[in-house]
Structure 1
Amino acid sequence: MTNEKTRPYFHEVDEKHLFDLLNHNSDWLWEVDAQGRYTWVSGVVTELLGYPPDYVLGRTPFDFMPPEEAERVGLAFTEIVTAKRAFSGLVNRNRRIDGTIVVLETSGIPLFDDQGNLSGYRGIDRNISTLGERVLQLETIYDTTPVALCMIDLNGRIVMSNKAMTRLLASAGSGDVADYFPDVMPECWQQFLQDFVAADNSVDIPGREVMFCERYYYTQPVPVYDATDNVIGLSVTWVDITARRLAEQKLASANQVLQQFAQLDHLTGLFNRRHMDEFLLNEIALALEQGLPLSICLADIDFFKNFNDNQGHQSGDDCLRAVTKALVSASLRPEDNISRYGGEEFLVILPRTDINGALLVAERLRASVTALNIPHVSSPTGFLTISIGVATLYDAKARFGEQPLHSIASELIYQADTALYKAKKQGRNQVVSGTE
């Protein structure tokens, strides 16, 4: 049983021992009031900063930091005080009494009065100068890199972000690093939830492109683990690729224009022979699949060489344009295709059209050109006319079997060309069918 007379002695010994511990170790203990002014400091401050405790009391931590550092740490500490939360690992540079720099790692807990109001902080500073400069350098690189960086915890809180990320969030009117990510970017958050699942299952997380506030970003999430290898968040890189995407869109538009030019005849604006070949093969494939007829009309301007020689090449070009306009205006369907087959020849492809329908279309085409009433002194009629050969593909599968599509196309065009030859031999300015 303890003797009552010995208790004060042990109390004094314990108190002296406690102060020895506080004032003679490697860590500096302190308390500040709600305004951040030191109200108590352990004697270790003299070893760390070179100032006696009495000099430090009443001053703030920022009084011992270089101005830029005081501003940086002050912003971080203001956020901590506003949230009234504990903090740890706050790395900061301090200037000693002799002008040299010491790097400290600061941690603290909030203190509250009886009414629950924040009355200050109690904390500890540890000298990490050997490692601290490297940490601060890395923090500077992290904070100043133009690429947006952030860390998101499992609840969607943005627990860390650099200046570029702050600017990115500010573009949505959300510049606070404590923002709740599901509210800021709900669509992205759904993707990040999938990334958490992938990380838990040791599956690689792919990068992806996202659009936010009318800008394009390439994001690459990387899982963050704690000491026991549990996923605690995602570190996400946001690379602004807006300029690249806009350039790609312009290039795609330019390629589309080039492709259109590659498909069109420069003189008439009709599809050219190359595009006609592709279109005809596709329509033959559909006709084989659906068992429907397919017709073509091969038209040729009568005595065009004589017209060109007598009137000149410019007039010949104008004539081709006028004929093109007449053919296009001959009430063709949207699915029909008209192309310049070569020279003064035109090919019209009529999907799902039998021979009777094709002959009616051919007559409209011929009449449209005749209605132009273009003078042609070398023609027996005295004006410009066209001759047309018509061919129709029926029951292609039974007739051609497994024959290649290009062979079927060649046969169909041959029939139309043969019919065109008959039309010319029979006096021109007429329509002849080449289908048996």
Structure 2
Amino acid sequence: MPVPMLLDLPTLLVIATAHVGVVSLALLAIIGTGASAATRCVQVALAALLLGGIAAITAGSLWTPVLAPVALLFFSLGLWLLHRALGSWLGHRSRPPTNRKKLRKPLRPGVYYGLDYRWSERCLRLLLVATPLGYLLGWASPAFQWGWSHLCLAAMLVLVAAATLFPLRHMGRAWRWMLCGCLVGLALVLLARGLVGEWGGASLLPFADLAMALAVNLAFVTAMVALLAAWRDEAKARLHTLAMTDGLTGLLNRRGWLERAEGMFANAVRYQQPLTLMMLDIDHFKRVNDTYGHEVGDTALKLFARLLRESRRTGDLVGRLGGEEFCIVLANTHRSASIGFDLRLRTMLHQTAEKELGFPLDYSAGVGVLKDGDSTLSGLIARADAALYEAKKAGRGQLVQSGGGAGLTVI
């Protein structure tokens, strides 16, 4: 007589817990320890869910009053960490706080009212403490413990699912909807099991247990596929950032700067907005390398890049085009704005270089301004580059603005 396979709740919970353990070890081996903060949150979340599963399985046979709230604590901790990982991946954690009194409708993708990430973060922190604590305080009423634990975990699942919506960063839509769907589905199954346990009678509870165990396994597999896709998107974004960033100064490199500058140029032409481009070249940089060494030369480049970042406005685009040559696009500004920027940067450089490098540092600058009839960014760059050549030819340490064919020198 064949032995039937029993898909009971303990067996399926053991399978789900084994899945979490295997995937946790696999992620640690594949991703390693040099992962981003979001990926580390996922790794720790899986570890917390694994410990929660072990505690839940053990609580069914012994020490239930102690291990049941411990399991709830680990489950809540895992969901909270997953929420933080999603916030980092999708940009919610880097968004500045929104004035809720003035916000009546979405202002841009990712800024929304009602499902605000910081609001759900506070709710999850509260539930992280309230879920196991409420279970402990309700020791005199098993019905209360049952309903409270199911309701709190379902609420946390819905809050985590909401974090997949309205991303601030461009991330894959497929994995976000997949993760959202499996979390909401699991929350509904949990709520149904809680209602059956409260009012459905003992006859329906085994079916609810089986449905929950199956839902946990299916949700875990689906969530792992979605999280791996999210990690892949993050890795692709990091590689793209590395390809567009200068490794020494942290500024955009030539490729990254040109890609962004083309977009700014196109918008300025399309909407007939002013645009100013400045080319900057550190004076006698080869002499710095020959006299003080390349390490000091690298320090000088990093100092100049830092002061460029501190001098720019929000919306201005700074890049290192190569060697000691830098470039900045002053968005929505006329020719006169370059004089103020040059004065501000030059003053900061004169005040800082002697103190941090031990010798003075200066630069030459050329300015090109968007004109009617400009059709390509290269023409604007060529005028700024020609003005820079005139500044260097005239003795360096000064700003030259292009004006048609001749240059106007500004001391």
Give the TM bin, normalised by the shorter chain: 0.3 to 0.5
Larger-gyration structure (1/2) = 1
Q: RCO greater where, 1 or 2, for CA within 8 Å and sep 6 or more?
A: 2
TM-score for the superposition, normalised by structure 1: 0.45
Give the number of the structure whose residues are more often strand, by fraction. 1
Give the number of the structure whose residues are more often helix, by fraction. 2
